[in-house]
Structure 1
């Protein structure tokens, strides 16, 4: 009982910044942190959706929240947004780098602009936010939470830009963790498997347009709420790496130690159906 009471107070009045917080895992995590008593700063693209979310947080969860329209790929916009958060709340205790986009197209059919956009959001977006928030996080001995993916350690077909961005996140934040060791700041990389969000529905194709195809057929799909709860529990324990239960352990094992067997047996299945180019 005492552990439960203590756990319920960990994030009370803490300032939590969530990027891409209006939908999917980001929104579910915003709601979970609000339930825990946190004060929320939500960064996303659509100000109308942000206003609606912050009003919901105030009306239903009595949560103090700030919604800021911001493209995390824009370093200057991020710097201004983080400055506003610190001005409003006095500092940042938790930064959740959640914003991300994906694509479904072969490497040969993917235009350079798509690679650049995916990296700009998934990798540089997390980099921009972390650089801007790091002084406050160090001062308050906070946490950095980074949404990676199954593809952070297991390749998936037709997602070369997405896979590359997630590998880059591991390289960046594993290094940062060592560099700030002893500072009191925790860095947690989160690797969900396939999750029921709009990310797959809004995937880009090779020419940069949105896909017209339904989401790929995949294995076990988790709910955004279940993923958010797992992240919340991981944050309570200040985990370093959180690999969620619907990530196929066989894929991890085979991809690392038996790559040829992985390519033959598991890669086609976990990658889903082959998309047609430029639709």
Structure 2
């Protein structure tokens, strides 16, 4: 995707809070909204990385930025960080629920600890951030942007917990959108395809340990910068749903209307595998 800096002033001086803001799509979003003149609040687990990114944003984009160490699974910590951001910047205009973790293991080999950890971060992390920021978002007619996945509408093998968390996000935020009708708050779900990030380097396996996964044979891979640019453009238009261009439309169609054909033809390729993790 060709990238350019828009002349739009839509996000100038607006406060954008991004969870998981130090790496991958989160970092790319921080840089893109900084280009647009936004003030940034970044939540992440690595304070050193936060400090480095905040300094970069200040030095190279001349924007106000705040980096707060935060595990989004901790509701009290999230509330504290959001309250601090509102006190310092006056409110929140855009919330981007980006923090996430994945895994690679069969359902039978996946411990309850993995299911709980993934739901704590991917789903409840978004719940915590949204509940904390919602009053300010309503006051400022803001936007909620939620990072889902192609697995939000189709299964991927060996990611049952991850897929479940993304389906839960769709159920939650499609309902919230309806509840917020007339409030001026927009809700956008984003479904990228495979993206070149470090997410797989911190992937969980069935026993909840962390193991970097080998590259997948998964077709077209988008850059984090291209994904961020598409999200930025969609946010300007206050879209409800953004499905990235590298998500195969045939997969969406087959998964919904011809599930048996999808399972036989596209599921293995989309899952990036030729055989199961156990070699079966």
**Pairwise TM-score range, normalised by the shorter structure:** over 0.9
Q: How many Å separate the matches in 1 of 2:200 and 2:250?
A: 23
> Which residue number in structure 2 is paired with residue 58 of structure 1?
58
Q: CA deviation at 1:212?
A: 4.1
Q: For residue 234 of structure 2, what is the aligned residue in structure 1? A: 234
- 1:88 counterpart = 2:76: no
Q: Return the offset for 1:200.
A: 1.9
DSSP 3-state at the match of 1:100:
coil
Map 1:73-84 → 2, pairs under 5 A: 73-84=73-84
Say whether the 8 Å CA contact 2:189–2:240 is kept in structure 1: yes
Alignment partners' CA distance in 2, 1:178 and 1:6 = 30
TM-score, length-scaled by structure 1: 0.96
In the alignment, the residues of structure 1 paired with residue 151 and residue 50 of structure 2 have an alpha-carbon distance, to the nearest angstrom, of 29
Task: Identify the range of structure 1 (196-205 vs 97-106) with the bigger mean alpha-carbon deviation.
Answer: 196-205
- Which residue is 1:27 aligned to? 27
Matched with 2:210 is 210
Q: Per the alignment, in what secondary structure is the counterpart of residue 9 of structure 1?
A: coil
SS at match of 2:40: strand
1:35–1:61: 8 Å Cα contact kept in structure 2? yes
**Which ranges in structure 1 are unaligned for 5 or more consecutive residues?**
none
CA distance in 2, matches of 1:169, 1:28: 22
SS at match of 1:8: coil
Aligned residue in 2 for 1:276: 277
Q: Is the 8 A contact 1:104 1:275 kept in 2?
A: no
Matched residue, 2:184: 184
Summarize the Cα distance change of 1:186–1:213 in structure 2 as closer, same or farther, 3 Å threshold: closer
- Report the CA distance between 1:272 and its aligned residue: 1.0
Alpha-carbon RMSD across the aligned residues, in angstroms, is: 1.3
Distance (Å, rounded) in 2 between the aligned partners of 1:214 and 1:106? 16
C-alpha distance in 2, partners of 1:5/1:248?
A: 28
Kept in 1: contact 2:70–2:78 (CA 8 A): yes
Distance 1:15 1:107 in 2: 40
Q: 1:212 to 1:82 in 2, by over 3 A?
A: closer
| SS of equivalent residue, structure 2 residue 108 | coil
Q: Within 2, Cα distance between the matches of 1:220 and 1:262?
A: 18
| Residues 200, 212 of structure 2: 8 Å contact kept | no
Q: Distance in 1 between matches of 2:248 and 2:225?
A: 19
Separation (CA, whole Å) in 2 of partners of 1:32 and 1:5: 8
Given that residues 7 and 236 in structure 1 are in contact (C-alpha distance below 8 angstroms), is that contact kept between their aligned partners in structure 2?
Answer: no
Could you say what secondary structure the match of 2:225 adopts? Answer: helix
Flag structure 2 segments of 5+ consecutive residues without an equivalent: none
Q: Which residue of 2 aligns with 1:112?
A: 112
Deviations 1:77-97 (A, max 9, x none): 000000010011000000000
Does the CA contact (< 8 Å) of 2:100 and 2:121 recur in 1?
Answer: yes
Secondary structure in 2 matching 1:49: helix
The verdict on how the C-alpha distance between 1:55 and 1:154 changes in structure 2, with shifts beyond 3 A counting, is same
Q: Provide the secondary structure at the position in 2 that maps to 1:169.
A: helix
Distance of 1:270 and 1:276 partners within structure 2: 15
With normalisation by structure 2, the TM-score equals 0.96
Distance 2:276 2:27 in 1: 28
Paired position in structure 2 for 1:195: 195
Instruction: Tell me the SS of whatever aligns to 2:60.
Output: helix
Aligned residue number for residue 127 of structure 1: 127
